[in-house]
């Protein structure tokens, strides 16, 4: 396309009713980039993205809410003519021991692997690497990042291979040659450690960036006053990066809460001990075909997610303001 | 590290700093600790790559034999087992969806970064909110829709879905990169009479190019890794490489070296992409929180 003279849809377009959404700052003859693009131009730039997300993410979410109040099944009579059963699914879920079990398991999983494990370890690593610069730091970070970006299917395979009772590397490295079937004996611990290993890189990167925002002069003052690394961390660094810590906590909690990957390690077993909510939904909806009931659990998850998200957005917009 | 310096560390004592040698020694201890920590994270990946280069006999020993002769036999065997179509499917789904995401996200992020829309923040949070949906809950209706459209086991289904999934993150990331384009340059371009297209192509794109590349690579990583939708929406024709890997593990569970080769092959593209985007990864995923 050849360069055209300055065009502006905003100029040709009649002002929107009430002037809402109009470009501001009409000062002088020179127009800002925002004015050149104009409201209509901007809208046409944003609309396709909004459309795609609306059709493929928002619409399914709404449909999930609808499915949740029906008794739809994958097969059989209720597959052809699902009945609206209202909130029956939700009340049924709340009194269902296996749902409550999944909720409890998920809470432990999120608390242990995300809130405590990833956040604390990530902060520790970032703190450890804080004075490093150049290739050394990049090399260290990339080693940690690899654990985080390889496919979940690969990670699951690696952990199964390491934790296996007979041929697992972990047992071989432990003294005494104990043949522990880690995934069967300590299933919850296994998936928690697995998720800590997998997810710490993100917290580390986030905190690494956060630590850069701590003014070096503050640390220097503290150091001259004789404060050791620990006191510097507690008295100066942590209060300064409080916002980042909250952000990291919320994000890793959200991700861990929705994580399906433990399925590849334990399939929710043994005896449902590691059946986190996503795996529970999968079992109920896909394996047992109770789509309506599964969708209702999904809706409950959605509400919990939304609660975490609202806190997060609140924190974020407060910081942006 | 001596006991006295350790004990003093916590206390605030003006003027009394531990002797230089102790400080340096402590620094070295932390350095070693940092490397050990990184090694722990990397060990399983290293084990995987190393085992994939061993013969099956050497891989079976426990603890693993580090110095066994290296061979590419396992990779040869893999291509004999027809891994290629799965890699091609993965490549198609990831590359095409990434291109689509960029095509949609760049204009939208540009419009939102220079803020001609008054409620731009609401739009950004609209996109952010979609990342809060539990994917497993979205799977049920999407499965029903795809089934009804007769699009099961079709790579294009994955292309479209991955585009939608990655769009919000790409948008947040692109916006934070585009905000770095100095306003003065944009204004200067307009004074010179450059139109919108010219401005985007000759002014914005060069400055934002590293950001665009990073965003693209991250979308690529996510699409390549995606498992839940791939395994439920595809069967024989459109299955991607993670799906292949999981099936392969079920079928050939005893052949460790072979499995490691498959796992390495499936990981290789994202390892390269991740290495290339290392410093920008966090920006995409903290959704602008670090700004």
Could you report the per-residue pLDDT of A57-76, keeping only the tens digit for each?
Answer: 888 888 888 888 887 777 66
> Is pLDDT above 90 for A78?
no
Secondary structure of A114-162 in HEC code, one letter for each residue: HHHHHHHHHHHHHHHCCCCCCHHHHHHHHHHHHHHHCCHHHHHHHHHHH
Cβ distance B64 to A258 less than 8 Å, yes or no, reads no
Choose among B108, B115, B111, B87: nearest CA to B224: B87
CA of A167 vs chain B CAs: smallest distance (Å): 7
Q: Is the pLDDT of residue A273 over 90?
A: no
A56 vs B12, B161, B199: nearest CB? B161
Chain B residues within an 8 Å CB radius of A125: 34, 37
Where are the domains positioned within chain B?
A: 13-73, 80-287
**Residue found by looking up tokens 């041929």 in the block:** A167
pLDDT in tens, A99-123: 888 889 898 999 888 888 888 888 8
CB neighbours of residue B234 within 10 Å: 21
Dihedral, A67, A73, A77, A78 alpha carbons, nearest 10? -20
Q: B174: pLDDT confidence band, cut at 50, 70 and 90?
A: confident
Query: Which of A66, A157, A297 is the best substitution to test chain B (most B C-beta atoms within 10 A)?
Result: A157
**pLDDT confidence of residue A32:** 63
| Lowest-confidence segment of A269-283, B62-76, B129-143 by average pLDDT | B62-76
Give the residues across from A65 on adjacent strands: none
Tell me whether A90 touches chain B (CB under 8 Å): no
Chain A closest CA to B55's CA: distance in Å?
A: 16
Return mean pLDDT, chain A: 76
Torsion (CA) B150, B153, B155, B160 in degrees, nearest 10: 50
- C-alpha span between A20 and B180 (Å, rounded): 27
Highest mean pLDDT among A8-17, A235-244, B156-165 belongs to: B156-165
pLDDT of residue A3: 40
At B155 the pLDDT is: 86
Confidence (pLDDT) at B287: 52
Of A22-26, A238-242, B53-57, B190-194, the range with the highest mean pLDDT is A238-242
With tokens 């052809």, the residue in question is A80
B136 and chain A in contact, CB less than 8 A:
yes
With a pLDDT cut of 70, the percent of chain B lying above it is: 81
Taking domain A91-320, whether its CATH number is 1.10.3720.10 is answered by yes
For residue A6, what is the nearest residue in chain B, using CA coordinates?
A: B195
What pLDDT score does B63 carry? 64
DSSP annotation of A27 reads -
Task: Please say whether the structural domain B80-287 has been given the CATH code 1.10.3720.10.
Answer: yes
Q: Which two tokens stand for residue A34?
A: 């925002």
Reported confidence tier of residue B159, pLDDT bands at 50, 70, 90: very high
pLDDT at B96: 95
Question: Which residue among A5, A149, A244 sits closest to B195, beta carbon to beta carbon?
Answer: A5
Whether the ipTM is more than 0.85: the answer is no
Give percent above pLDDT 90 in chain B. Answer: 5
Q: Tens of pLDDT along B195-252?
A: 777 777 777 778 888 888 888 888 898 899 888 888 888 888 888 888 888 888 777 7
Angstrom CA distances, B225 to A94, A104, A269, stand at 34, 28, 24
Tokens 């609808």 identify what position?
A: A66
Beta bridge partners of A70: A84
Is residue B138 scored above 60 in pLDDT?
yes
- CA of B64 to nearest chain A CA: how many angstroms apart? 7
Record: contact B44-A64, CB cut-off 8 A: no
Residue B97 has pLDDT above 90, yes or no: yes
The more confident residue out of B6 and A108 is A108
CB distance A4–B171 less than 8 Å? Answer: no
Cβ–Cβ contact A246 with B under 8 A? no
Cβ-defined contact of B123 to A55 (cutoff 8 Å):
no
pLDDT, tens digit (0-9, with 9 covering 90-100), for B238-271: 888 888 888 887 777 677 888 888 888 888 898 8
Does A316 contact B at CB distance below 8 Å? Answer: yes
What average pLDDT does this structure show over B64-69? 72
- Kindly tell me if the per-residue pLDDT of B98 is higher than 90: yes
Whether residue A245 is predicted with pLDDT greater than 50 in this model: the reply is yes
Model's pTM, two decimal places?
0.80
Encode pLDDT of A288-310 as tens digits. Answer: 878 888 888 888 888 888 887 77
Closest CA to A34 of B26, A25, A64: A25
Q: Distance between CA B51 and CA B137 in Å, rounded?
A: 38
pLDDT at B9 over 50: no
Q: CA-nearest residue of chain B to A306?
A: B132
Question: Nearest Cβ partner of B195 from A4, A55, A148?
Answer: A4
pLDDT at position A23 is: 40
pLDDT at B100: 93
% chain A with pLDDT above 90: 1
Domain ranges of chain A: 91-320
Q: What is the pLDDT of residue B277?
A: 78
Question: What is the residue-averaged pLDDT of chain B?
Answer: 78
Q: Count of CB contacts below 8 A, A vs B?
A: 339
A100 touches chain B (CB under 8 A): no
User: What residues does A84 pair with on adjacent strands?
Assistant: A70
CB contact under 8 A, B42 and A146: yes
User: Shortest Cα distance from B95 to chain A (angstroms)?
Assistant: 16
Question: Of residues B66 and B19, which shows the higher confidence score?
Answer: B66
Q: Are the Cβ atoms of B41 and A210 closer than 8 angstroms?
A: no
Q: State the DSSP string of A39-72.
A: HHHHHHHHHHHHHHHIIIIIHHHHHHHHHTTB--
Query: pLDDT-based confidence at A319, cuts 50/70/90?
Result: low
Does the structure show a pLDDT above 70 at A28?
Answer: no
B252 to chain A, closest Cα gap in Å: 12
């Amino acid at each position: 396309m050849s360069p055209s003279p300055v065009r502006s849809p905003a100029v040709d377009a009649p002002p929107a009713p009430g002037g809402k959404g109009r470009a501001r700052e009409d000062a002088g003859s020179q127009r800002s980039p925002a004015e050149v693009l104009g409201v209509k131009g901007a809208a046409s730039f944003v609309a396709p993205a909004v459309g795609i997300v609306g059709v493929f993410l928002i619409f399914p979410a709404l449909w999930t809410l609808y499915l949740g109040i029906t008794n739809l099944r994958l097969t059989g009579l209720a597959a052809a003519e699902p009945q609206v059963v209202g909130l029956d699914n939700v009340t049924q879920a709340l009194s269902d021991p296996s749902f409550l079990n999944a909720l409890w398991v998920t809470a432990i999983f999120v608390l242990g692997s995300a809130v405590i494990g990833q956040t604390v370890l990530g902060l520790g690593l970032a703190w450890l690497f804080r004075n490093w610069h150049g290739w050394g730091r990049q090399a260290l970070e990339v080693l940690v990042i690899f654990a985080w970006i390889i496919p979940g299917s690969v990670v699951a395979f690696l952990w199964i291979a390491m934790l296996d009772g007979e041929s697992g590397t972990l047992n071989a490295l432990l003294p005494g040659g104990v043949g522990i079937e880690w995934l069967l004996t300590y299933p919850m611990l296994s998936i928690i450690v697995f998720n800590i290993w997998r997810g710490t890189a993100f917290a580390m990167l986030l905190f690494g960036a956060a630590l850069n925002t701590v003014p070096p002069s503050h640390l220097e003052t503290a150091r001259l006053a004789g404060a050791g690394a620990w006191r510097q961390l507690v008295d100066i660094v942590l209060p300064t990066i409080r916002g980042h810590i909250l952000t990291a906590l919320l994000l890793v909690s959200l991700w861990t809460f929705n994580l399906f990957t433990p399925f590849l390690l334990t399939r929710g077993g043994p005896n449902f001990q590691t059946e986190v909510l996503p795996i529970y939904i999968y079992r109920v909806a896909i394996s047992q075909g109770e789509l309506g009931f599964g969708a209702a659990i999904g809706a409950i998850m959605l509400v919990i997610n939304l609660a975490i998200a609202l806190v997060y957005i609140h924190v974020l917009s407060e910081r942006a303001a | 590290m001596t006991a006295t310096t350790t004990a003093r560390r916590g206390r605030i004592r003006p003027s009394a700093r531990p002797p230089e040698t102790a400080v340096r020694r402590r620094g070295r201890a932390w350095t070693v600790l940092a490397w050990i920590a990184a090694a722990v994270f990397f060990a399983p990946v290293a084990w995987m790559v190393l085992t994939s280069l061993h013969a099956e006999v050497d891989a079976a020993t426990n603890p693993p034999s580090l110095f066994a002769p290296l061979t590419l036999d396992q990779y040869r065997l893999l291509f004999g087992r027809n891994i290629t179509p799965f890699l091609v499917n993965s490549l198609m789904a990831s590359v095409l969806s990434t291109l689509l995401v960029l095509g949609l996200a760049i204009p939208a992020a540009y419009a939102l970064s220079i803020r001609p829309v008054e409620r731009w923040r609401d739009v950004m949070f609209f996109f952010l909110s979609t990342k809060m949906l539990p994917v497993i809950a979205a799977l049920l209706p999407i499965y029903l829709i795809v089934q009804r459209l007769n699009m099961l086991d079709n790579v294009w289904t994955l292309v479209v879905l991955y585009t939608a999934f990655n769009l919000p993150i790409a948008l947040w990331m692109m916006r934070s990169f585009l905000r770095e384009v100095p306003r003065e340059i944009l204004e200067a371009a307009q004074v010179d009479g450059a139109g919108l297209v010219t401005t985007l192509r000759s002014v914005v794109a060069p400055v934002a190019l590293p950001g665009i590349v990073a965003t693209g690579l991250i979308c690529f990583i996510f699409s390549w890794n995606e498992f839940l939708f791939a395994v439920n929406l595809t069967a024989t024709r459109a299955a991607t490489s993670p799906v292949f890997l999981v099936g392969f593990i079920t079928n050939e569970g005893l052949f460790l070296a072979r499995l490691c080769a498959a796992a390495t092959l499936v990981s290789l593209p994202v390892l390269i992409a991740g290495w290339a985007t290392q410093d920008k990864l966090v920006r995409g995923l903290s959704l602008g929180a670090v700004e």
